Amino acid sequence: MATDETKPSEKSDSRVWEKVLDPGELAEGRVQAVTCRHQAVCMTHFKGQYAALDNECPHQGGPLGEGSIEEGLLRCPWHGWDFDPLTGKAPGFDDGVATFPVEVRDDGIYVGFEEEIAHTATVSDLMAETMVNWGIRHVWGMVGHSNLGLADALRRQAESGRLSYYGIRHEGAASFAASAYGKLTGRPAACLSIAGPGATNLLTGLWDAHVDRSPVLALTGQVDTQVLGPGAFQEVDLSAAFGEVAQWSQPVLHTSKHAELVNLALKSAILNRGVSHLIFPDEVQTLPAPVGAQAGSPEGRVTAQGITPPADSLERAIALLGKSRRPAIIVGHGASFHMEPIVALAEMLSCPVITTFKAKGLISDHHPLGCGVLGRSGTPIASYFMNEADCLLVFGASFSNHTGITPKKPTIQVDFDPMALGKFHKIEVPVWGEIGVTAEVLGNALQDNVQAESQREQIAERWAIWRQEKSKRMGEGRGKGVSSSAIFAALTRQVAQDAIIAVDVGNNTYSFGRYFECQNQAVLMSGYLGSIGFAFPAAMGAWAATQEEDPRFRGRPVVSISGDGGFGQYMGELTTAVKYGMNITHVLLNNSELGKISKEQRAGSLEVWQTDLHNPDFARYAELCGALGIRVDESTELDDALGRALAHDGPALVEIMSDPELI
């Protein structure tokens, strides 16, 4: 409805009137899009009159408010369809676009809207509620044109306080954050993307979750089902693209049992410890939920997982351990939630506890039986006690070649996954069972049957030798940056005992494994995938866990560590951390080089080529993002800089100019 510009203002009928323009804001002959009460409106000013038209062109939804008035007609910017700028009629046709009543008042231009109809629950609402019922508390993602209906359902859950949503800058950061959250808590979180490139951007982080057995729910938009197949804009065959990485993947269709799809997706993610994937075609997302449809939940759908091993396996393991004089326990990431009975068993045997790199921190390096990390990122303490052992008891480790668990020792391997047992070579006693249950059963059975000698004194001696060596390395310097031994000694002093630490890949991470002494910190890494860029997005996932009521994580400090190459992958996410007030301290070792690759080129008798990096001033970059940024040039500055950053309430970055060779 067009209204004369000089008509006196007056209120009428039961409409809700909203001010959309200030006086004189829209010039004669111009158009402008406005949004009020969830309604997009194209405002026009033509021949001295204002009009309000539906903003959506009936052809393909083009935004009329981005068009222009040409020769007396409002032209759609997408395909040139014409409409009368005051009545919305299409010249020569009976149709057009709807109009809204307009009033010109002293303080501006008002549009009258009908009272909003109450929201009708959609299938996305039903599915989002089911996700929350299953324990999804966090979603990282990017809202876009092919996931808007699903995003609106997630918004409703977020505004009701049932979940938290974090808008990231790159979908890869979303999937890494969800993967890290799953590794830390054992519970699934979700990541969200649009179709096409958004979904493919998720794949790296989802592969990390897949190979490290972390439960994650991936939610991807998709093009309309009516154009799926011939090759529509941003169409990717997502079932095929996610086929290897997702152990469960299904499209959401008009005829689907929508709550049941979520039930199955999350049951699979939790029990199979991997990625589940739901594909949401655009038009399905806003379908009304069936009348009487109920959200799903895990009630009656998930069994307890405390599997007791077969009696024969237990008897053989007890017999081998019972006669061992120098047993050694090796724990992998699979033992993350079962350390109490494992440590109790180790104390009964007075034997060393060695960890894989992925399991660093599961036992304190200050525990009298803790021996640190085994393998390429490890300590000479761990390798010594493995070599001196007459029996290895391995809980939840993958036997990666990076870890180097010897096949030459009699070995008992315990794992919940029967396919992991004896995967690479013959094992004397493979034991299929839940790790905590198995450790407790072994401990109870061995109480009166232990011949092992105490190795506590030798462990203390070996730590003294290694700490002396580390101290010597701290004094070394070439005038080309701070040494890793000095950096990680300072971190050992400054980082809180209960911090959660996310690490990246490269020489900085090898040095972390070697030099940093864990107390009660939890460590997160991209284990089997070994993906550069993991650390900072993983810290965002860890931070989310610290905002929950779970006493295992509530309020714990979060620290991430990377090189300059790793941070450069997702450095835009520092703005995400600032936006959501994430209290994360990032420690960046800047050597202007992909140092590990340079080292490998030298080891292969190759020229060092294309590993140098052109970097910004990262500390200044942090300040520009709204975080605290501190630069360290000398080892004497480390403690003060780290202390200031860790005490800062909000995101902080410490850029340390480091020596690429003193690792």
Whole-structure pTM value: 0.89
pLDDT at res. 118 = 83
The alpha carbon of 281 is separated from its chain's Cα centroid by a whole number of angstroms, namely: 24
pLDDT at 234: 62
Instruction: Kindly report the number of other CB atoms within 10 A of residue 408's CB atom.
Output: 8
**Which string of b and e fits 356-382 if b means at least 16 CB within 10 Å?**
bbbbbbbbbbeebbbbbbbbebbbebb
Widest Cα–Cα separation across the chain: 101
pLDDT of residue 1: 42
Read off the pLDDT of residues 186-207 as tens digits, 9 standing for 90 and up. 999 999 999 989 999 999 999 9
pLDDT in tens, 597-639: 888 888 899 999 999 999 999 999 999 999 999 999 999 999 9
Q: Which residues of the chain have pLDDT under 70?
A: 1-13, 226-235
Burial label for 122, CB within 10 Å (0-12, 13-18, 19+), is buried
Q: What is the predicted pLDDT for the residue at 562?
A: 97
How many helices and strands (H and E) does the chain possess?
20, 29
Predicted local distance difference test score (pLDDT) of residue 226 = 56
8 A C-beta contact, residue 101 and residue 1? yes
pLDDT at site 3: 45
Helix (H) or strand (E) holding 95: none
Domains of the chain, start order: 3-113 (2.102.10.10), 123-284 (3.40.50.970), 311-457 (3.40.50.1220), 475-657 (3.40.50.970)
First vs last Cα of the chain: how many Å apart? Answer: 74
Give CA–CA dist 46/15, Å, rounded.
24
Task: Provide the pLDDT for residue 480.
Answer: 84
